Amino acid sequence: MPPDLWSWLPEGHLALFVIDAVEALDLAAFYGRYRVDGWGRPAYDPAVMVALMLYAYAVGVRSARAIERRCVEDVAFRVVAGNLCPDHATIARFRAEHQDALAGLFGQVLALCRRAGLVRAGVLAVDSTKMHANASGSKNRDLEQLAREILAEAAAIDAAEDELYGDKRGDELPPELADRKTRRARIRELIDELDAERGAEERQRRAMLEWRAAHERKTGRRPPGRPPVEQPKRNKRSPLVNVTDPDSRPVKTPRGFIQGYNAHAVAGDGQIIIAAEVSSGTRDQGHLGPLVAAARAELVAAGCKQRPDVVLADAGYWASGQITELEADGIGVLVPPDAHARATPNPRRRGGLYERMRERLRTDQGGALYKRRMMMIEPIFGQTKTNRRADRFQRRGLPAVRSEWCLITATHNLLKLWRATSAPAAT
């Protein structure tokens, strides 16, 4: 008889912990996609595939081909996979077909952490990190470039069709020309999206100008803030869209711009992630309220009765209306009105809420509380992107990227749970 694979791993190993954790999860959303009448080719057990995905993401292996290799070469992967070896196409299809169910594992893992006493939600820290997209910045195109590509491609196709068919209709198109038509249709869709985006920006600019004019007529004073200025047409550049991943955007990082996404997280004491979200673009502003609402919903779903008392966020999340709503709901908010790089307060942010927040942060209690933000959430991003090598999304499109970010953050919490329970016994 062959030896038991489980005996090849020490007691308390992460792979064994993941298998036990999967047994405690509700996998009905995964099993629901498969037929039970016996028709079709037998699928891999969803429990095995879920355990394989969780363990692979936990140890920083996210490529489908790399996971396939590990199922042959790595003992821990073989134990998790039950000595099976699903090919990379099966792994990739499972991840794509079950992206919503995989994202839903985040809440279930959070519930496991809550039952272990690891979730402390009195103080929440909100922050974001910029993640590379599975796309190159050189594939960004504006309206004029897309139009030139369509014209050039159409001319090349017409020339090729003339050479192949002459005066014939050309009904017998080869498959490669069908693929080209699909691509041309997609580029036209991107052009329509760019036109709609430019139209929305122009309508928003005109609405703001009308509001400023009405405010000045009513009060006799200029409204606060800088008025929107239309750039000269010769300097006006069409918005860029990436033909590989249209949802990704050039986002600014301390080391320059990258083609990617903005990944948000809400963490409590103990560095347990309570909510995770992804947005396109660099700006954090406008996401504070939705992130806190998502965190409260996740806490309720996980069975946590503790209510957030304080929310900590950096200056990028400043939004006066959202801060006022949170404070009216009984949640204290500490968000500096000025970026840490400014030597003097922002002159456009004076009076009212701005001064109250600055005064709150200058107190010993407020300053000490805000310093906890750095220890609560920033190490999460460093550990995720450096130690677990998850600094680039594998999939494309905002829904797929959001699912992958939820899986990354869920495995972060799973590692926290493992270290708090099994790891000390193993050492």
Q: How far apart are CA 106 and CA 301, in angstroms?
A: 11
Q: Which residues pair with 257 in a beta bridge?
A: 252
AA identity, residue 323:
I
Taking alpha carbons only, the member of 152, 359, 404 closest to residue 261 is: 404
CA distances from 22 to 6, 13, 55, 121, 311 (A): 16, 15, 10, 25, 32
Residue 136 CB-density burial (10 A; 0-12 exposed, 13-18 middle, 19+ buried): middle
User: What's residue 181's pLDDT?
Assistant: 54
User: What's residue 173's pLDDT?
Assistant: 43
CA atoms 35, 41, 42, 46: torsion sign: negative
Q: Cβ distance 368 to 40 under 8 Å?
A: no
In the 8-state DSSP scheme, what is residue 387?
Answer: I
* Phi and psi torsions of 225, nearest 5°: 95, 165
User: What's residue 325's pLDDT?
Assistant: 94
- Report the alpha-carbon angle 157-160-166, nearest 5: 120
Show pLDDT as tens, one digit a residue, over the chain (427 residues). Answer: 457 778 888 888 999 999 999 999 999 999 888 877 767 677 889 999 999 999 999 999 999 999 999 999 999 999 999 999 999 999 999 999 999 999 999 999 999 999 999 999 999 999 999 999 988 887 777 766 666 666 676 667 666 766 666 665 545 444 433 455 565 666 677 677 777 877 787 888 888 888 888 878 888 777 777 676 665 444 455 667 787 888 898 998 888 899 999 999 999 999 999 999 999 888 898 999 999 999 999 999 999 988 999 999 999 999 999 999 999 999 999 999 888 777 677 777 777 888 999 999 999 999 999 999 999 999 999 999 999 999 999 999 999 999 999 999 999 999 999 999 875 444 4
User: What's residue 407's pLDDT?
Assistant: 96
User: What's residue 175's pLDDT?
Assistant: 46
Q: Which residue has the tokens 């122009």?
A: 202
User: What's residue 199's pLDDT?
Assistant: 79
**Domain layout of the chain by residue ranges:** 5-97, 119-135+247-393, 143-239
Question: What one-character-per-residue DSSP string does 316-345 give?
Answer: GG--HHHHHHHHHTT-EEE--SS-TT-SS-
Q: Which long-range contacts (CB under 8 A, 24 or more apart) does 371-374 make?
A: 372/123, 372/125, 372/269, 372/312, 373/125, 373/127, 373/312, 373/313, 373/314, 373/334
**Which CATH code of 3.40.720, 3.30.420, 3.30.360, 3.40.50 fits the domain covering 119-135+247-393?**
3.30.420
Q: How far apart are CA 326 and CA 201, in angstroms?
A: 29
User: What's residue 144's pLDDT?
Assistant: 67
